[in-house]
Structure 1
Amino acid sequence: MQSPNDEREYRLLTLDNEMQVLLISDPDTPKAAASLDVHVGSGDNPPDRGGLAHFLEHMLFLGTDKYPDAAEYEEFVTEHGGNRNAFTSFEHTNYFFDINAPYLPEALDRFAQFFIAPRFDAEYVDREKNAVEAEYQMGLKSDPRRGLDVLQEVMNEQHPFSQFAVGSLESLADRPDSSIRDELLRFYDEHYSANVMRLVVLGSESLDELESLVVPMFSEVPNKDFEHEPISAPIFVEGDLPMFLQIKPQATLRQMQVLFPIADYRSEYRAKPLSYLGNLVGHEGEGSLLSQLKSEGLVESLAAGSGLGWRGGALFSVSVTLTEEGVEKHERVLQLLFAYMDMLREQGPKEWLYEEQSRLAELAFRFKEEGNPMGYVQGLAGGMQYYDPVDVLQGAYIMSDYDAAMLRELMADIVPANALVVLEDADVATDRVSEHYAVPYSVERLDARQLADWRGAAAEGALHLPAPNAFIAEDVSLVKIDNDNPAAPERMLEEQRKQIWFMQDEEFRLPRGATYINFRSPLVSQSPRQTALAVLYTALLKDRVNEFTYPALLAGLNFNLYKHAQGISLRISGYNDKQDVLLDKLLSVMASPDFDPQRFENIRKDMIRSLENAVAKRPSSQVLDDLRESLLYGEWGEQPLIDVLQNVSVNDVHDYAQAFWNSASAEALIYGNYARDAVPGLAARLDKVLPDEAAPDLPELKVLKLEAGESVLYPVDVEHDDAVLAWYLQGAGNAWQDRAATSLTAQIMKSGFFQQLRTEQQLGYIVSAFYWSQLDVPGLVMLIQSPVADTAGLASAMDAFLGGVAGSLDDEQFARHQQALVSEVLRPHKNLWERAEFFWQSIAKKQYAFDGRQQLADAIEALDRVQWQQYFERTFLKQRHSLQVAAPGKAAVLPEGGQRRVESAEVLKAGHRFYSIN
């Protein structure tokens, strides 16, 4: 069964080799896509061969008997506008790609060979182990990876989830009695069987054409009748629970997770008991567990739902971000959690609550919108492993079988005696270190006396079931389209302090819409203090309205409030029924904020902690943040913002809010299922928060302008052994031709850059070249995070690669890259939200003709290979506009050459020329 809003055609097949295949015909799709899910993952690794399944995933990309060149698949997909990737989880390995629709047959033929005749060339087996090692090393400072390492160490070692999953040079090393290549072949031959594979193919061809294409290709995949062994071992040894686990994190984390082993409910997808329980425990409205925890100053956020899953069981997870007081009183947090569960058991399952969730799921499926083809096929392929054939398309949305007994059974497992409590904080006491990630931790089995401490009196009457959701859409009718509805948004109102753009949606025709409001002010981003106060103000506002916006979110009515370069943006989107109710409440709070001093203090400290935790981000991400700060005026590093936040009061925020609104003007877009009278309605609402007099001028937006021949080195301090280099090359100017030539250069480079510097030279796991424009100023970034090379070596490798780009490109390859990029630029919007975002960004850039995509595509098509090569050689080789941001890592070596060295982004931008963006 498919959504009434889905016009694609579907066909489900079972091939002679027992592979299940779902074909999707979409004649209008610009991109074809495919995903093959193998019901085999890290849980199937042989003993003492941690990471073997993951390593196998890497190796399948590196050549087959029919297409032996290790670079061939990557090059073909990239040159024809596509992307490819894969992932390995405990039970699944999923391979997927997309490509410009006319090239699906050739791409699919290459893809099919992964599962028919991969080569496992010894040369690449030896090299690719380094990529797995780099991925492992990259995770050594990742707190989620570190926490999982500890969790696996305290599990029952007989349970396959306790195994090391990522892999390393040590776990994948050749051994006297067995080479890793032999074990790869054995694992592939035993596990990669057609009967545990699910394939989804989406293309522009008819179903008959897709069937005639797919069946011969994938019928060749051998069926080895693979069957999983049952997992009989419990995930925790009897008597181990309840357990209290303390972990010392790398970042400034204050987090507690409570895990409960439960039954495997995946076959009960029509009942979805975990959705019912997760919705209640994770609720954020009035009377919720989170509401009470916040009121006592103990936590900042809470999430609940299914965690790890395996054949025969799962973990139900409740995770909270603690305040400083919450760490000290973590037993009070547990008391409230178990008091909430006692309340749920006492109240018993409620069919009306279940029906409410069912109604929301039904609405979501009924008005399901088209998404990214690659993500769509990937999700379907994984779901086919669990859903009955008739439910493949709607399995994730079905919630039709209310089963009170099943819900009571589940709730009976969420008790103190069945709990693993994991507390992560810098000050915890530890006495052990985990094997793979060297994480300090301690573990304690709890007795009846300690369990009694987890039971205490909750605030009387404070915890109760949520009220019926008042935001569920009732009117899902479509408005009549006006005869004079424009082809693009029109400015329907223009006054001193406000402008409103309006357009009815004629293409997607859903009972949904987007109302976006940009409140601009000169009091944003001009100093660290302004930035910190604006971010803190928006965080306090979101917290203040959370209890009434959370039910709206559940009902498909989304809300976001955030600081941007010139002000604060408010976005409301989703079902247009009830949007006015939500907007009225939001604006009334925004205009007259009254913040609780305790909530202010907790949020202020949480923001400081988040900024301090930037050091725990992936090193390559930290370097890109430093690069962005170097280029954008009004961007500030973490420390200046921390310095401000350390010294602000709630009164400072109130004063800032008043000044902000006194200086604010508004620009809005109304797009979707709205009648024209929405414009005066919004104008009247804005009048309640905006002054009458003329708005002050806004400061210009500025981007650093690197001169031809200018070369700058910015060393940054990142606490990680890996070296990272982000080499930014700015375009020669800001015209459409510069944007076209620079983006085309990135398209031409990205496949070869990855193949040569990662696959061949094995410089690191994160290796990429990409187009990176800032406020439409074009730029190219080459990025490598390396555990084996220093930044001087990385710069030399990048430079050598750049020198060979133009010479290796023939006319046919240039034409393929050019067409791939044009197709991507002009790709039709998949849904209403993509269209709304395009309109909104065009308005922000003052591109009121809404033709930016076409102008860029025309500029790309206007370039011939000679013109592009001349631009490339002049701009990216001879007269570079160059900025290297380098984190030297343990090697402590920086790129050499004649670069001007700067010590901070602030120093670089001070007195420098810039592009002014009006």
Structure 2
Amino acid sequence: MPLNHPRWPAKTLPIALLSLLLVACATLAPDYLAPAKSPNDARDYRLLTLDNQLQVLLISDPNSPTAAAALDIDAGSGDNPPGRDGLAHFLEHMLFLGTDKYPDPAAYEQFVTEHGGDRNAYTSFEHTNYFFDVDAPYLDPALDRFAQFFVAPRFDAEYVEREKNAVEAEYQMGLKSDPRRALDVLQDLINPEHPFSRFTVGSLETLADRPGAPVRDDLLAFYDSHYSANRMRLVVLGSESLDELQSMVEPKFAPVRNQSLQAEDISAPLFTPAELPLYVQIRPQAALRELQVMFPIPDYRDAYRSQPLAYLGNLVGHEGEGSLLSRLKAEGLAESLAAGTGLAWRGGGLFSVTVTLTEKGVTEHERVLQLLFAYLDMLREAGPKQWLYDEQSRLAALAFRFKEKGSAIGYVSQLADSMHEYAPADVLRGLYMMEDYDPEMLAGLLDAVRPQNAVVVLEDASVETDLESRYYQTPYAVEKFAGTVPEAWRRPVQADLFHLPAPNEFIPEDVSLVALDPNNPPVPAKVFDAPRREIWFAQDAQFRLPRGATYVNFRSPLVGQTAREAASAALYVSLLNDRVNELVYPASLAGLNFNLYKHAQGISVRVSGYTDKQSLLLDELLGVFRAPGFDPARFENIRQDRIRALRNAVAAPPSQQVMNDLRESLLHGSWGEVAMIAALEELSLADIQAYAADFWRSASAQALVYGNYSRDAVTVLAGQLETLLPAAAPAALPPLKVVELGAGESVLYPVEVSHDDALLAWYLQGAGNSWFDRAATAMTGQLVKSGFFQQLRTEQQLGYIVSAFSWPQLDVPGLVMLIQSPVADTAALATAMDTFMRGVPGTLDEAQFERNKRALVNEILRPHQNLWQRAEFYWQSIAKQQYRFDSRDALAAAVEALTLAQWQDYYRQTFLEERHSLQVAAPGAAGVLPEGAARTVESAEALKRGHPAYELP
């Protein structure tokens, strides 16, 4: 598959030339421009440049309940001065911690949280991107606080010292991360003249004060030398009119200084030609088997209208018949493959092919290289093909034509980045443009991806190493061939192993809208009910796109009652996904998505996207389900791949591991890695075939058909399901169960995580499972999340991962406090959490309670932004037997009815005096566990065994 959809920025064009490009753009006024937008986009847009040369995109969406803004500056970790690695990242942290107008470092976070929003930022090689969202009526005051980051940040010396610890904690958190460890190796090998060779995160060492060079002075110098208005791009989305938004933005951002700074191109090559090809071996911490081949290429970002990298990535990453991956799987060498570009800079980029290997693939990785280079030879020999380009272009145009709304905060963040990348006319559509077929450019790109230009990286536990990377202590070895391609990479392969993809039969031809039935129900209705088959149906009357969702849940009692059942179901699903991959891959390229997955009560199939060819795809899929014909060799590779994935759980972020342990301890039918690995190791192909037969004999189907369908789609689906399910009475399903902790119960569950940091996830369950309990617990999560972060992270500097949040499991309410700390043990973390919780009621007044209540209600009732969000809500409601589809209204009403006095009573009793408490603790290097728990359990199963449980449908 392609790694991602590449983006290539256009240079900013002089205003005099814009009129030549704005064929599809409306003129708003002499000084304003509007970018070309999707026909499906009802929002209004305005591009303007402030007097200080800050470029702004305004978006008016009167129906949006959420406002959002983002500012992107084209300065990032690649601009770190020598000797100050991580400075750009550190600066990103510091801008959140107080400005001259709003000096309180907690003020911004608190305001955004109390008004239903979120905020964050990221630092990449070339960019730093700041963004927030908030309930729509509060955009003006939120934007005023945000603007001050770029007008008058304080860089308070006290918080400079404190926040260095947060950067250090983030660095320490990544020490076990294989992607970061591999990047550290790559940066060791990159040309030291290229800024990408430098450490990006930062640490106490790189950010330490030095004689004559305090880090605060370097922060100020970096800010002054890079944070100039002309290098910034601002996007603001609100419910106000464009004129109102402009009046809001101009006075707030006009004071941002313009120093007329320009980003410099990077002339140094990433690798000097004499070093290539390069062969690197890395020993990962996880059970990772991966081969990555990277090719330095020119900077194609000005060519976004041609998108040569998208063309090549789609071909190399193709998964259909005749593809590179198809051949690798046939020879038992690989499980997956991705191709595309993920790194580009002013002056160059990398095209990368990443192959997940089997054990055989590791042993025979040179054969993998032979096949890759032979496939690229085939592409060069075939030459660029306009019909393939036109097919990709057609799909990109369809995607833009029927583009749907997503989250406001994600949208503004992406657009602020895009404003650096594309010409003004193309800010919205640049990602989707593929209209200038340039065979010479494509041929030049193909010429660059040759073995003599390759950096080959093999990651496996078996490799022999003699070097260690500087910051992450990653073991590796390197061999430089100095212009000579190893013979083993170039051995010829059979000429007919590969061919170009066939024309895609799943590209939609009919994108018309089905007429709405006058009797169309406002929410899905059960329109087909037969033994073992139940179908819910509604036409989408709001979004009106030629798309739809057909979801089928095959429920069975044989899915999770034992670890063997859970492992069998998971392995069976993996085998089915592999079996249909070559069939569904072209469909996925054509905007027709397929997802097959195991869940607590069965196996679900989802087909979504353009409705034109959905029935054809589903019919072919169900045909495979009836007689899959699994290959024994593929079975063994997939079984081993699942085992390896489970073993790799130790390489997941430590906080994720602890949360997984917490979830497993609460949910019946959830099994840990050890039990699942043991079960998988015993399963044979015959066992899976027998399991599949038993599963289908016991299964019943519940389906949702929602979107651009006529009622005939229900009849077709009912017939398709009839061929798969027997006519006998359905088997009884066991209920879903969540552990019920008693009032005053205190349980400690120590877990092992391979990391020096201490981790504590403290779960406090609600007092019951009524709507009142759910509302009071959700309100608690809303009230504590901002203060918890501010007190325990910003002030006390206990770690980088510090959060408190509402965490319902199957609607059973609960609250989680989570900290990963390199400086405190879990006993100290528990004390800090308890101290914070006991101080919450005393800091809360009526006005603050009402602000947070309104923010929570708005979040609960936030309108669905697209067809998929609504389909998901309907689907989850059906699964929970909430057939009135009113769960959001019920929860919001319960929150609305909650008074401050009621909440205080509930909080005091449930979260202070009679806690329903479970602490999952990983002691790390300190080896210290929290004290005071009445009971310690050695496993998740020990907690669930004999424990009372909430039973849900």
Displacement of 1:350 in angstroms is 0.2
Displacement of 1:449 in angstroms is 6.5
**Which one of the candidate residues 791, 797, 801 is aligned to 2:832?**
797
Displacement of 1:494 in angstroms is 1.1
| Deviations 1:635-669, CA, capped at 9 Å, x for gaps | 00001110111121111111110000000000000
Displacement of 1:456 in angstroms is 2.1
> What residue number does 2:608 align with?
573
SS at match of 2:489: coil
> What residue number does 1:465 align with?
500
Taking every aligned residue pair, what percent have the same amino acid on both sides?
68
**Which one of the candidate residues 295, 298, 304 is aligned to 1:263?**
298
Counterpart contact for 1:593–1:654, Cα < 8 Å: no
Displacement of 1:448 in angstroms is 6.8
Q: Which moved more, 1:488-497 or 1:77-86?
A: 488-497
Displacement of 1:230 in angstroms is 2.5
Alignment pair present for 1:788 and 2:823: yes
CA–CA separation in structure 1 for the residues paired with 2:418 and 2:265: 20
Q: CA RMSD in A?
A: 0.7
SS at match of 1:338: helix
**Which one of the candidate residues 298, 315, 340 is aligned to 2:375?**
340
Counterpart contact for 1:417–1:451, Cα < 8 Å: no
SS at match of 1:543: helix
**Which one of the candidate residues 359, 364, 370 is aligned to 2:405?**
370
| Deviations 1:353-400, CA, capped at 9 Å, x for gaps | 000000000000000001100000011100100100011110000100
**Which one of the candidate residues 243, 258, 261 is aligned to 1:226?**
261
Name the TM-score, length of structure 1 as normaliser. 1.00
SS at match of 1:239: helix
> What residue number does 1:525 align with?
560
CA–CA separation in structure 1 for the residues paired with 2:447 and 2:765: 60
Alignment pair present for 1:120 and 2:155: yes
* Aligned counterparts, 1:128-139, within 5 A: 128-139=163-174
Q: Which amino acid aligns with 1:392?
A: V
SS at match of 2:823: coil
SS at match of 1:671: strand
Name the TM-score, length of structure 2 as normaliser. 0.96
**Which one of the candidate residues 853, 862, 876 is aligned to 2:911?**
876
Q: Which amino acid aligns with 2:457?
A: V
Alignment pair present for 1:183 and 2:218: yes
Counterpart contact for 2:274–2:483, Cα < 8 Å: no
Counterpart contact for 2:74–2:263, Cα < 8 Å: no
Alignment pair present for 1:299 and 2:297: no
* Aligned counterparts, 1:649-664, within 5 A: 649-664=684-699
Runs of 4+ with >4 A deviation? 447-450
Counterpart contact for 2:275–2:483, Cα < 8 Å: no
CA–CA separation in structure 2 for the residues paired with 1:773 and 1:756: 24
> What residue number does 1:814 align with?
849
* Aligned counterparts, 1:760-775, within 5 A: 760-775=795-810
CA–CA separation in structure 1 for the residues paired with 2:376 and 2:140: 54
CA–CA separation in structure 2 for the residues paired with 1:630 and 1:392: 47
CA–CA separation in structure 1 for the residues paired with 2:484 and 2:749: 57
> What residue number does 2:40 align with?
5
SS at match of 1:437: coil
Displacement of 1:528 in angstroms is 0.4
SS at match of 1:349: coil
> What residue number does 1:17 align with?
52
| Deviations 1:320-352, CA, capped at 9 Å, x for gaps | 000000001101000000100110010000000
| Deviations 1:741-791, CA, capped at 9 Å, x for gaps | 000000000000000000000000000001111110000000000000000
| Deviations 1:853-902, CA, capped at 9 Å, x for gaps | 00000000000100000000000000000000000000000001143111
Alignment pair present for 1:486 and 2:521: yes
CA–CA separation in structure 1 for the residues paired with 2:688 and 2:253: 62
> What residue number does 2:143 align with?
108
CA–CA separation in structure 1 for the residues paired with 2:294 and 2:933: 56
CA–CA separation in structure 2 for the residues paired with 1:446 and 1:657: 51
* Aligned counterparts, 1:479-878, within 5 A: 479-878=514-913
SS at match of 1:669: strand
CA–CA separation in structure 1 for the residues paired with 2:493 and 2:652: 37
Counterpart contact for 1:30–1:827, Cα < 8 Å: yes
CA–CA separation in structure 2 for the residues paired with 1:391 and 1:916: 53
* Aligned counterparts, 1:276-315, within 5 A: 276-315=311-350
Counterpart contact for 2:748–2:933, Cα < 8 Å: no
| Deviations 1:251-286, CA, capped at 9 Å, x for gaps | 010001000000000111000000000000000000
CA–CA separation in structure 1 for the residues paired with 2:111 and 2:263: 35
Displacement of 1:450 in angstroms is 5.1
Counterpart contact for 2:526–2:535, Cα < 8 Å: yes
Counterpart contact for 2:112–2:142, Cα < 8 Å: yes
Q: Which amino acid aligns with 2:454?
A: A
> What residue number does 1:409 align with?
444
CA–CA separation in structure 2 for the residues paired with 1:380 and 1:397: 13
Counterpart contact for 2:168–2:203, Cα < 8 Å: yes
Structure 1 gap ranges (5+):
none
**Which one of the candidate residues 878, 896, 900 is aligned to 2:931?**
896
| Deviations 1:509-532, CA, capped at 9 Å, x for gaps | 000000000000010000000000
> What residue number does 1:330 align with?
365
**Which one of the candidate residues 155, 167, 192 is aligned to 2:227?**
192
**Which one of the candidate residues 453, 456, 473 is aligned to 1:438?**
473
> What residue number does 2:65 align with?
30
Alignment pair present for 1:393 and 2:428: yes
Alignment pair present for 1:273 and 2:312: no
Displacement of 1:503 in angstroms is 0.2
Alignment pair present for 1:318 and 2:366: no
| Deviations 1:827-866, CA, capped at 9 Å, x for gaps | 0000000000000000001000000000000000000100
CA–CA separation in structure 1 for the residues paired with 2:762 and 2:933: 15
Displacement of 1:506 in angstroms is 0.2
SS at match of 2:336: strand
Q: 1:785 to 1:150 in 2, by over 3 A?
A: same
| Deviations 1:304-334, CA, capped at 9 Å, x for gaps | 0012111010000000000000001101000
